[in-house]
Amino acid sequence: MEFIKTIIKNKKLIWGIGKNDFKNRFANTSLGSIWGFMQPFVFMITYVIVFQYILKVGSSGEYPYVSWFLPAMSMWMTINDTIISASNSIRAYSYLVKKVVFPVDIIPMISIMSSAFVSLFLFVISIIVSSCFGYVPNFLILLYAIFAAYCFIIAFTRFTSAVTTVIPDFSQLLNIMMQIFFWFTPIVWNLQMVADYPMVQRLLQCIPFTYLVGCVRQAFIGEIMITKGYGMYTLIFWVVTLILFVWGNHIFKKTKKDFADVL
């Protein structure tokens, strides 16, 4: 509860620094923050072209590949980019830790806020493109998926930001882990492809990344996953998120006193 109170107390500070952080990433370029939106957009469109028109992957079933893929990829890029950024945030803002009396707990939240601008753009693009193909999302389920994603991100980065600060090599390990999770999460492939291996399928469905990608995808293709066969996985997701938050909060508090010494 102390962490939540700190976030609420410093919400204006998080918003202000987070907005400036996003602008400063591209301050030395002529197009400025436009690059922050252009890079992930081109990346997503490239995946669509490669998997739909070159490799001709038929993993989307009865749905248009664009409407099936873009929401899931938007969710993954939100999760991946935000986790990597927030995990390295305390080292990136080391001067705040060492030289100023500053609420260190909110530093990962600043990076999360900074990354949220691009994430919002990606979801808007997914909504526009999918609507063109006749798949208007269920906005209540979409908002739930985004809310669940940020709850998980905050819980996860509470741990990873602390460990990365104390052990810099963990950042490289985290990058490798996220690459592995990308390919084990049904983003470019369909979970039904492993239907012949029910134990593997159930195990994959228990992974939070799979749940979040499946949730946002179902918001776009017209099914309500929370009540349609996903009740158990919804419960598992929130239990895992809560455990991660409690554990991460404990690790963060325990290591916070050492941040200034290692930076």
Summarize pLDDT for 162-178 with one digit per residue, the tens.
999 999 899 999 999 99
Distances (CA, A) of 214 to 189, 221, 244: 12, 10, 21
Q: What is the pLDDT of residue 94?
A: 83
Has residue 229 got a pLDDT over 60?
Answer: no
User: Quick one: pLDDT band at residue 24, thresholds 50, 70, 90?
Assistant: confident
Mean pLDDT of 81-104: 85
Has residue 215 got a pLDDT over 80?
Answer: yes
| Cα 218 off chain centre by | 17
State the residue range of the domain holding 189: 2-262
- Whether the CB-CB separation of 137 and 226 falls below 8 Å is answered with no
Q: What is the pLDDT of residue 21?
A: 76
Assessment of whether the complete model's pTM goes beyond 0.85: yes
Higher pLDDT, 131 or 35: 131
Q: Give pLDDT tens digits for 26-52.
A: 656 655 566 667 777 777 778 777 776
Angle between helices 65-87 and 107-132 (to 10 degrees): 170
Q: What is the total count of domains within the chain? A: 1
Percent of the chain past pLDDT 70, that is, above it, reads 87
Has residue 70 got a pLDDT over 70?
Answer: yes
